[in-house]
């Protein structure tokens, strides 16, 4: 029997019991829609993070410390593996302080755009009687050549000591500016906090008794030099402000890393807690890394951090895919049940077909094609339904983010490969669901089938 004849006959058979076929197809559609939505969410999250890494040039960034990164054990993101040292060796390990002279030497390496101390600290930005919690980051003047630091309004810093900052349009909106460009040239207040270690020790008993930390706030009026584009860096742009490096060095501030380093190394720390090296191109990374390690410093690559993160995304995608596949598997059981019921109801018809010389292989193909039709049609409906659901959720998320001044974030990303893959999976499981009913139909004896009618 030709495939076209099988297809037409299978379609006619499914139309005999429209309600059952429709309900079975709805089950497949729900499973496919769930699988599509979950995979689209995982893909959207991964692409958003990749876009931020790429925009901020983090693939070309190295972090250097004088000791192994204190968060290395927690995140397992260090670039190179350090051999375990015995307790006796730990006291004799060489330590290379991250000083201005060391950074100056590194800055002269081929392929290095800038080497500078890492200064990132929490702060508050105030304007129009509003206060916004932010994270301040200090950058050197060389960053004016990077795309991520070229303002869409205003300009980059004029000098390394410029009393100015850069922020995003979303930050301007949160500070009460209806038109973000209006904040350029305005003066905002940057509030920093400092911690006196000696006072903290003296106030230890008071802390345990419910007292407050010995913090001192300082307010700094700064001019907004320009707006940084935040479409490609929605996560960081929402809470980030950028300062000139030398200005940030003059500000008293406390950071998580400096506090942690103070606890781990004591108050006699020499040099900076960490430094950063910005490369001109990724090809220079291996050579620069080796040269820095030869100087005794510890190197962490943000590129390797993303590789670890990428593996995490694979695990998340697999978990989401398994959850969606379970829903599709339940629908497959429904297809098998429907096909078995069709075989039982059409026993006499099957007997007649075999009595007049019908081929068993054609009979098996007929039920498999019926099962495949349910899977394909249900899969197509599920893809459309899943697209509607993700589009609706994306629209709601965009409206919410717009209300709080955050640029749209593509939470759900549907790719052609994803669509074809899901449709292929739906077809495969529906074909498998039809195998057992088809074999059962082929084993029916014509005389017994005719007598049963």
How does pLDDT run across 186-202, given as a tens digit for each residue? 999 999 887 655 555 55
Residues 6+ apart with CB under 8 A from 244: 138, 139, 141, 157, 159, 160, 161, 162, 164
153-183 pLDDT, tens digit per residue, is 999 999 888 999 999 888 898 898 989 899 9
Contacting residues for 219 by C-beta, under 8 A, at least 6 apart = 126, 189, 190, 191
Higher pLDDT, 350 or 171: 171
List the single range of 60-69, 254-263, 396-405, 410-419 with lowest mean pLDDT. 254-263
User: Is the pLDDT confidence value at 342 over 90?
Assistant: no
Q: Which of 9-18, 195-204, 360-369, 425-434 is the least confident region?
A: 195-204
**Buried residues in 141-174 as b, exposed as e (16+ CB within 10 A):** bbbeebebbebebbebbeeeebbbbbbbbbbbbb
Sign of CA dihedral 439, 441, 446, 452: positive
Name the residue among 222, 223, 221, 232 with its Cα closest to residue 152. 232
> Where residue 127 falls among pLDDT bands split at 50, 70, 90?
very high
- Alpha-carbon distance 324 to 379, whole Å? 13
Residue with the bigger pLDDT between 306 and 384: it is 384
- Return d(Cα 162, Cα 138) in angstroms, integer: 12
pLDDT over threshold 70, residue 1: no
Distance CA 416, CA 43 (A): 12
pLDDT of residue 7: 74
Structure tokens at 282: 């990724």
Residues 298-325 have a mean pLDDT of 76
More confident residue, 76 or 25: 25
pLDDT band for position 103 (50/70/90)? very high
Query: pTM for this structure?
Result: 0.66
**Phi/psi of residue 81, each to 5°?**
-90, 125
Residue 155: predicted pLDDT: 93
| pLDDT at 12 exceeding the cut of 90 | no
Average pLDDT over residues 239-263: 75
Q: Residue 152: which residues within 8 A CB-CB, separation 6 or more?
A: 169, 226, 227, 228, 229
Report the pLDDT value the prediction gives residue 315, as an integer from 0 to 100.
80
Burial class (CB in 10 A: 0-12, 13-18, 19+), 250: exposed
Residue boundaries of the structural domains of the chain: 3-52+310-452, 57-301
Q: Which DSSP letter does residue 239 get?
A: T
Q: Report percent pLDDT > 90 for the chain.
A: 23
- State how far Cα 65 lies from the chain centre: 27
- pLDDT exceeding 70 applies to what percent of the chain? 74
Distances, alpha carbon 365 to alpha carbons 1, 108, 117, in Å? 9, 72, 70
- Does the pLDDT at position 75 exceed 50? no
pLDDT value at residue 263: 52
Distance between CA atoms of 46 and 412, rounded to whole angstroms? 10
Quote the pLDDT of residue 141. Answer: 93
Mean pLDDT (whole number) for 304-310: 69
* pLDDT at residue 84 greater than cutoff 50: no
Residue 293, token pair as written in the block: 């390690």
Q: Which ranges of 175-301 would DSSP assign to H, the alpha helix?
A: 197-202, 204-208, 234-237, 245-250, 256-265, 285-294
pLDDT at 90: 44
Spatial contact of 124 and 133, defined as CB atoms under 8 Å apart: yes
Q: Has residue 319 got a pLDDT over 50?
A: yes
Helix, coil or strand: residue 125: strand
**Which whole number is the average pLDDT over 299-324?**
76
Q: pLDDT averaged over the chain?
A: 78
- Tell me the C-alpha distance between 66 and 75, whole Å: 18
pLDDT of residue 165: 94
Cα separation, 300 vs 118, whole angstroms: 13
Q: Is the pLDDT of residue 438 over 80?
A: no
Compute the distance between CA of residue 183 and CA of residue 160 in angstroms, rounded to an integer: 21
């Amino acid at each position: 029997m030709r495939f076209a004849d099988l297809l037409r006959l299978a379609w006619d058979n499914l139309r005999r019991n429209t309600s059952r076929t429709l309900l079975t197809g709805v089950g497949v559609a729900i499973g496919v829609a769930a699988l599509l939505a979950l995979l689209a969410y995982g893909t959207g999250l991964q692409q958003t993070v990749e876009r931020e890494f790429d925009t901020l040039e983090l693939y070309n960034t190295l972090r250097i410390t004088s000791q192994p990164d204190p968060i290395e054990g927690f995140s397992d993101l260090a670039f190179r593996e350090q051999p375990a040292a015995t307790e006796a060796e730990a006291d004799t390990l060489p330590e290379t302080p991250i000083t201005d002279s060391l950074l100056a030497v590194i800055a002269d390496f081929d392929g290095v755009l800038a080497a500078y101390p890492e200064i990132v600290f929490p702060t508050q930005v105030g304007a129009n009687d509003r206060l916004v919690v932010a994270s301040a980051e200090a950058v050197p003047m060389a960053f004016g050549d990077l795309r991520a630091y070229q303002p869409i309004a205003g300009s980059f810093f004029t000098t390394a000591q410029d009393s100015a900052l850069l922020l995003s349009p979303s930050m301007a909106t949160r500070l009460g500016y209806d038109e973000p460009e209006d904040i350029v040239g305005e003066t905002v207040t940057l509030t920093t906090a400092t911690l006196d270690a000696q006072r903290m020790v003296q106030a230890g008993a008071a802390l345990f008794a419910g007292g407050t930390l010995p913090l001192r706030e300082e307010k700094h009026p700064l001019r907004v030099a320009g707006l940084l584009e935040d479409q490609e860096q929605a996560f960081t742009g929402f809470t980030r402000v950028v300062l000139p490096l030398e200005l940030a060095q003059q500000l008293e501030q406390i950071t998580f890393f400096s506090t942690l380093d103070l606890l781990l190394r004591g108050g006699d720390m020499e040099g900076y807690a960490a430094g950063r090296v910005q490369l001109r191109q990724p090809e220079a990374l291996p050579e620069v890394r080796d040269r820095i390690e030869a100087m005794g410093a510890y190197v962490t690559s943000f590129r390797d951090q993303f590789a670890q993160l990428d593996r995490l995304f694979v695990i998340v995608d697999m978990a989401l895919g398994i959850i969606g596949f379970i829903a599709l598997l339940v629908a497959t059981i429904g297809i098998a049940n429907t096909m078995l019921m069709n075989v039982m109801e059409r026993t006499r018809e099957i007997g007649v077909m075999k009595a007049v010389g019908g081929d068993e292989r054609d009979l098996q193909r007929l039920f498999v094609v019926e099962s495949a039709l349910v899977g394909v049609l249900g899969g197509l409906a599920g893809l459309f339904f899943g697209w509607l659901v993700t589009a609706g959720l994306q629209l709601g998320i965009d409206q919410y983010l717009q209300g709080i001044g955050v640029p749209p974030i593509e939470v759900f990303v549907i790719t052609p490969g994803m669509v074809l893959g899901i449709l292929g999976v739906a077809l495969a499981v529906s074909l498998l669901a039809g195998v057992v009913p088809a074999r059962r139909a082929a084993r029916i004896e014509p005389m017994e089938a005719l007598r049963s009618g």
